[in-house]
Chain A
């Protein structure tokens, strides 16, 4: 297949309501072959793993690239001059290399986002008035999350929806004015943004003992975890306080799990119970593996999440994350980042060495 054919088949596949397992496999293998042939670093990676399109029969055996590879390799099928948009990972410490995902078009990304967002966050409404706790796409052109939220804003935000965060920080006054307006109005309201922004916000509100009674049907979408930008929180505690401050039931507090290295997002159906069950649409599949052996872990056991996202057609569809998860029926539990274990012996481990070597 060439790029155009890939995009066409993908788009058709995404907008279908239901697909069979074997259809997913077929398309996954076609996209794997496309990426193998057009993305040379990926091809070399696969060859090192002794895997080629001729040896793979199922999406489960497509070699998964560790997301760290994006930092040192250019993983892209299209010619550099055809790149329309590049999303970059946000480093946690700021001085490290950032991974880059190139997109020759965002049409597939957008279709993927809009289709899944509609199904998981907006099944009952066409549009909703939104407040977005994240900078705009203009301010952060390399952020996939900024683009994601821009899509939510432009496709599902009703008149009056607005952004409340600029690169300068949160416009609290404006935000509270808007929330109070929503409180008086009986129209459902949606707050969307990075998880850590919500943490700051709740902290602020708790300090001034402030609560907002958002009308029935209101909802909250948080994403991204806390990434060291805000103190680590117990998830249960976070959703409890979030729900309490805004009077939005925990069932309507949805967490989106996405990443720069994907073009599709996972959602839960609210956070009454933490960790919540995450699942994605029919064009993405996940496995939980033992990172040392690469072998899938038995259902119910902890392992590392591997995703095969067909919509991420230009880079690499199948990636190995650093997120710990547990496979359950029709989805997985997300347990957060795999932290390097405290060294048990007295042999120096990489993490400690780096810490010392970097001063």
Chain B
């Protein structure tokens, strides 16, 4: 039986059209059905979600919301829970990622939404989270209350499993009604999360809907863009531009585009004792979700002058990528993905034998490749799916000027360096647009409350109503207790 994905309340599922999506990534073929609502259905869904957001969600204290989400997440963390089991079974088949990588990845990702971490989310953005519940004194004087949108429209892209949960949780924390459009590449997790949440709090479940339509089908999108108070879109710049252009001028549109992340390895991490560990951690960042995340490294800059040379580091890295084939085997690629990898490999291979001071290390079966260059010229993305560039640099301090031209696309930098170097590099990198610096091995697992692309997850979603001090003072004059 085909599994129905998507999630919504108040519309008979037999009255909607269902589209079958087929996946065959070498881990067992599977078909799932996603709902294609009519424009009318979509409109009534908007009204319903908005309504529930106003009448129910806005009345629940944020601490209660934290508890409900926490309960949902802890069910999801429980490996005997049927939803969790479904995710573990289906995600590898849908995305092609190694089941073990998915299982571990789910746990490490979901635990960033436990109660204590959710409170961290809140306190990252609000010095007093109660401002989401009622008017609170503001430091500047007067009172303020933060309102989340009645309808937040999420447009998700990508096949890094579970990413929609991030923006869905953010929406719920600010008491927004949410309608999310899942991508064809990974329609599962947002649907499962919503279903599980609705089991725990059915009324909260009515504040969410998960829908789908074929990418580029504007008529559905237009319905939502018109109805939404706020739009949160992920995707490539072309897609984002179109979405933004179609969003009414009075509706805010927050966009998260594709990014490039990279690693930096100081000579202090390249002695004969630590270098292997450094390479192992770097390889892990590459292997995890096959570089599909915006935080996944595409380049490593390696400093010369350590006991282990950058070229040797590249060799370590290559070997570690090979070793990871045992732990987290790479997935089979579609012919299109394989073509991208192949064309990147070919061009690196050509450089390796036609230019001096280069080396190309690759698995003969194409599962990973490392392109090493002794000079870091212009940077460019890798072929993804376990293809990485290693550039030698005389000093890590040269790196910011190399990457500076790509300021708009930079995101995470994984650094292995001494505390002094770290601080020094951080200020240089921050200045050229890098928004996140992590340790190696953690590039693909941002901590709870991470400011995605340097933005505020929650604060960006709300508007604040202020009662100025003058109003407060003036009101005093009209009180019963006025002397």
Contacts and interface: CB of A to CB of B under 8 A. Distances in A.
The answer to whether A and B touch directly, with their CB atoms under 8 angstroms apart, is: yes
A306 to B, nearest CB: 12
Contact of B339 (A41, A295, A338, A348): A338
Interface string B359-391: 010001111000000000000111111000000
Contacts of B364: 294
A322 B338 CA distance: 11
A304 B345 CA distance: 15
Interface majority SS (helix, strand, loop, mixed), chain B: mixed
B336 A338 contact: yes
A208 interface: no
B114 interface: no
Interface in B277-311: 289, 291-294, 296, 298
A295 B332 CA distance: 13
B60 interface: no
B292 A344 contact: yes
A93 interface: no
Interface majority SS (helix, strand, loop, mixed), chain A: mixed
B185 A66 contact: no
Contacts of B234: 346
A351 B238 CA distance: 12
A348 to B, nearest CB: 4
B243 interface: no
A295 B365 CA distance: 8
Nearest to A291: B342
Nearest to B235: A346
A349 B159 contact: no
Contacts of A356: 237, 409
Most A CB within 10 A of own CB, among B347, B352, B383: B347
Interface stretch (A44-52, A142-150, A176-184, A255-263): A44-52
Nearest to B256: A346
Interface residues of B, number: 57
A72 B158 CA distance: 34
A44 B354 contact: yes
A68 interface: yes
Most A CB within 10 A of own CB, among B160, B260, B343: B343
Given A291-B341, A292-B342, A346 B354 contact: no
Interface string A309-343: 00000000000101010000000000000111111
A345 B293 contact: yes
B346 A66 contact: yes
Given A345-B160, A347-B384, A352-B258, A68 B347 contact: yes
B13 to A, nearest CB: 27
A338 B335 contact: yes
A119 interface: no
A285 interface: no
Nearest to B409: A348
B450 interface: no
Contacts of B338: 290-293
A251 B169 CA distance: 60
Nearest to B291: A347
B343 A346 contact: no
B366 A48 contact: no
A48 B185 contact: no
Contacts of A357: 380, 406
Contacts of B339: 291, 304, 322, 338-341
B335 A291 contact: yes
A341 B340 contact: yes
B366 A292 contact: yes
Nearest to A354: B380
B138 interface: no
Given A322-B343, A348-B298, 9 more contacts: A48-B352, A292-B341, A294-B365, A341-B340, A344-B159, A344-B337, A349-B258, A350-B383, A351-B340
Closest 4 CB pairs of A and B: A345-B292, A341-B336, A291-B342, A292-B338
15 contacts: A45-B349, A47-B353, A292-B333, A293-B367, A302-B335, A343-B258, A345-B160, A345-B294, A346-B163, A349-B258, A349-B340, A350-B343, A352-B258, A356-B409, A357-B380
Interface of B: 157-160, 163, 183, 185, 234-238, 256, 258-261, 289, 291-294, 296, 298, 333-347, 349-350, 352-354, 360, 364-367, 380-385, 406, 409
